[in-house]
Structure 1
Amino acid sequence: MVDIEQLNPRNEAALRAWWEVGRAATAYRPGKPWPAWELSRLALPADNPERGTTLIGAIDGREMIGAGLLTRPLQDNLHAANAYAYVQPTRQREGIGTALLAELEVVAAGDGRTTLQSEVYLPPGTDGGPAAFAAARGFAVANREALKELTLSHYVARRDDLAASAPVPSGYRIVTFDTVCPDEHLASYCRLLGMLLAEVPLGELDLTDSGWDEARVRAAERRLVDIGRHMLTALAIAPDGAVAGVSDVRINDADQTAGEVGITLVDPAHRGHRLGTALKLATHDLALANYPQLVSVDTANADVNVHMNAVNDALGYRTIETVLELQKKL
C-alpha cells in the first residue's frame, strides 16, 4: 500500500528524501534540470511572499517513491496553481504519478484555485511520453517553448563581434546590479515589471497582468538574498531617465557553474534599438565577471517569440528540450 502524505519542508530528512526522488526522476534530461540540494534545503522551507508551496510524498513502507509539488501565486493570478509529479524510475507505471496529481488537485481546489498548470519536457522534435500522460489526465497544451542552453565558451568566442553590431544606442545607458535594484530606478523598474505578462507570449495560458510596487520588489529581493540566489540584472535607462528594458541571469551560491535567464523585457515604446541584445550582453558579461567558474546558462522562449529567439541564437544558445506548458480547468 502506497500512502500519499503532505510533507513538512522543515523536516530535513523528509525534504531530502523528496529531493532525491525528484533528482532521480529528472536524471534523464540534459543539463541540470533539478536544483542543487543546498538550494532546495534553504529555499523550500523559507517564507516566500510570492508563492505558496505544498510538498507531498508517495511512501511505500519507509521509502519515498514519489514526490509532488504544488505552487500557487500569492500576489496575483489567485485562480491558478502549478502542479508537478515525480516518480522513482524503478516505480513508474504503477499509478503513483496519477495518485500524486490527484492529491495536488485536491489541495489546489481547496485553496480556491480553478486553473491547474504544469510543464513537460521532451527531446526537440518529439512528442508523446510525459505529454501523453498529462493529456490522459485532462491537461491540454497551452503554450510551447524551447529550452535553450548557452555554453559560456561559445559566448566568449562570439561576444565581441556581437557587441560591435549592437552597441548601446545613443542617449541610453546600461545600469547593472546584483539582486537589489538601486533606489533611484525602483519606481520605474516596478512599472516595467508590471508589463511582463502582457508582453511575453503566453499562448492559451490563463494568466493576467501583475502589479508590482516597491514593497513587493524589496520583499522578493530579501528572499533571494536570504537563500543565496543572485539575480544579476541589467537595466536600460532611457534619455529621460525611465527604465526602458530589463534582463537578468540568475545564479545560486549552491551551484555556481550553471545559471538561467529570468526575464528579458523591453518597453514597447523603446523597441527597435537592439536594447534586448545590449541588455543580454551586459548580464552575461556580469555573470562571467562575478562567476568565472560559470559553464552554462539556460533560457526558455516561446516558439512564436521570433525576436528573442533570434537574439538568443546570436548569443550562441542552442535548443536542448521542447517545453509544453499545460493547463487544466478544475
Structure 2
Amino acid sequence: MYFSIEQIDPHNEPALKAWWEVGQAATAGRASMPWPVWEQMRSIATTTNPERALVFLAAIDGREMVGAALAAHPLLENTHGVELELYVRPDRRREGIATALLAEAEALTRGAGRTTVWSAALVPPGGTAPGEAFAHARGFDVASRESMKELTMADYRARRQAALDAVGGASDGYEIVTFDTVCPEEHLVSFGRLLGMLNAEIPLGDLDLADAEWTPERMRAAEQRQVAIGRHVLTAIAIAPGGTVAGASDVRVNDTSPTQGQVGITLVDPGHRGRRLGLALKVATHDLALSSYPRLRSVETSNAEVNTHMNAVNEQLGYRTVETVLELQKKL
C-alpha cells in the first residue's frame, strides 16, 4: 500500500490535529505516560523552545495520516544527536510505516550533521513488546533500563506520615523551600549549579549524554516557557546551613491535565547525601502538588533500574512499577 512521508508545519492546526490523533490512537493502550491532551500538544508544538527544535513527520496515505514521528534536535548541548518518537495507527501496523518514518528521521539527522538517535520502547515489567524487536532489528541498542512507576494520591496519603517519620531529624539544619516554576532570585545561581550536575550524577547506562550548563538566563527562559505552555513545575529545594542548594525535586502538572502529575527530577548533591533529603523533598513536592491540584489522582516517575536508592525512596512513598522503559540509542 502506498504512503508518503512528509514534514508538517505545527502551525497548520488541521495537520497537527491529525498528527496528534495518530499518536493518541497509537498510545491508547499503554499503562503509563498518557498522551498529552490536544490543548497541551498544540501549545507545546507552537511555542518557541530555545532548548530544542521540533520536527514533525507524518506518513500519509491518500487523505489519511497513518503514522507520525517527532524528532527533537537539542540546541544547547548534546547537539550530536536527535531524540525520536514513532507512532503508527493501530489498524495500519506491520505495513512498513514505522520503518519509513525512521529512515526519513535518520536522513534528517545525518543532514543536520548529527550522529546519534535516541528513542525509547515501553515493555511490561519482565516482558517484551513489538517495539523492542523493531528497535533491535534496526540497529538500536538498549543503553539503559528504567522502571516507570505510578503513585496514586490515595496511597500517598496513607504512607505520608510514615515517610515523614522515616526522615525524622536526619535533615535537621536544612531548610525546604517550595515554589511554583519560578525559582526565588536568591537561590537561582546555586540551583543552576545543582541542575548542571544532573547527567553526571544519575545512572545513564551507555547513553551518550553530556552535562548541561544552567546559567540564570537559561533558567529564566526555561521557566517562562513552562509558564507559556501551562505547565507548573512544583519544586522543592533543600537549602544547606551555608545557604547553598543541596537538593531538589519537582512534580509537573499541566493545567490541561490537572489529575495527572509527573516527577521531573530528584537530585541531591553528593556532599549532602545520607540525610534523607531525597525523601523529604519528595514529600514536600507531593504535598505542594496536592494543595495546588486537589483533583490530582496520580503521579508518575521513572528511574534507572540500577538506581537502588531512589527506587527505595519511591517504594517507600507507595510507587508501583507499571512498565519498563528501554532507553534506546543508535550510532549512525
User: Shorter chain as normaliser: what TM range?
Assistant: over 0.9
Aligned length: 330
Asked if 2 retains the 8 angstrom alpha-carbon contact of 1:148 and 1:317, the reply is yes
Letter of the 2:50 partner, please give it: P
For residue 58 of structure 1, report the CA deviation from its aligned partner.
0.4
**Comparing 237-246 with 40-49, which one deviates more in the overlay?**
40-49
2:159 matches 1:173 = no
**Cα offset, 1:109, TM superposition:** 1.4
CA distance in 2, matches of 1:193, 1:86: 31
Indicate the residue corresponding to 1:274 in structure 2. 276
Measure the CA separation in 1 of the matches of 2:65 and 2:150: 32
Question: What is the alpha-carbon distance in structure 2 between the residues aligned to residue 16 and residue 51 of structure 1?
Answer: 21
Post-superposition, which runs of at least 4 consecutive aligned residues in structure 1 deviate over 4 A? none
Q: Is the 8 A contact 2:32 2:323 kept in 1?
A: no
Partners in 2 of 1:281 and 1:149 — Cα distance?
A: 15
Q: Show the 5 A alignment for 1:225-240.
A: 225-240=227-242
In structure 2, what is the Cα distance between the partners aligned to 1:173 and 1:63? Answer: 55
State percent identity of aligned pairs.
61
Shift of 1:128: 4.4
Match 2:193 to one of 180, 188, 191: 191
- 1:241-270, Cα deviation, whole Å (9 max, x unpaired): 000000000000011000000000000000
The answer to whether the Cα contact below 8 Å between 2:233 and 2:252 also exists between their aligned partners in 1 is yes
Structure 2: how far apart are the matches of 1:31 and 1:82?
Answer: 19
In the other structure, the counterpart of 1:71 is 72
Q: Which residue of 2 aligns with 1:288?
A: 290
Counterpart of 2:212 (choices 204, 210, 213) is: 210
Q: CA deviation at 1:31?
A: 3.9
Task: Report Cα offsets for 1:176-202 as digits up to 9, x if no partner.
Answer: 000000000000001001000000100
The gaps in structure 2 that reach 5 residues or longer are none
User: 1:297 — aligned with what?
Assistant: 299
Shift of 1:129: 1.5
TM-score, normalization by structure 2: 0.98
Post-superposition Cα deviations, 1:94-124, rounded to whole Å, max 9, x if no partner, equal: 0000000111111111112111010000111
Q: How does 1:6-45 map to 2 (within 5 A)?
A: 6-45=7-46
Aligned-pair CA distance for 1:32: 4.7
Secondary structure of 1:54 counterpart:
strand
Please list, as runs of the form range in 1=range in 2, the aligned pairs for 1:98-247 lying within 5 A after superposition: 98-167=99-168, 169-247=171-249
**Which residue in the other structure is 1:5 paired with?**
6
Match of 2:51 in 1: 50
- What's the CA shift for 1:36? 1.1
RMSD of Structure 2 on Structure 1 (CA): 0.8
Provide TM-score, normalisation by structure 1: 0.99
- Aligned AA (1:119): A
Distance 1:79 1:94 in 2: 31
Q: Which moved more, 1:286-295 or 1:28-37?
A: 28-37
AA in 2 matched with 1:242: T
Stretches of structure 1 lacking an aligned partner (at least 5 in a row): none
Partner Cα separation in structure 1 for residue 321 and residue 269 of structure 2? 26
Q: Which moved more, 1:63-72 or 1:167-176?
A: 167-176
SS at match of 1:160: helix
Aligned partners of 2:33, 2:314: CA distance in 1, in Å? Answer: 19
Residue pair 1:236, 1:246 contacting (<8 A) in 2 also: yes
Q: Distance in 1 between matches of 2:16 and 2:41?
A: 8
SS in structure 1 opposite 2:313?
helix
Which amino acid counterpart does residue 177 of structure 2 have in structure 1?
Answer: V
CA distance in 1 between counterparts of 2:60 and 2:300 reads 33
> Partners in 2 of 1:183 and 1:60 — Cα distance?
52
2:128 and 2:88 map into 1 onto residues whose CA distance is 20
* 1:256-267 alignment runs, 5 A limit: 256-267=258-269
Give, in whole Å, the separation in 2 of the partners of 1:111 and 1:200. Answer: 29
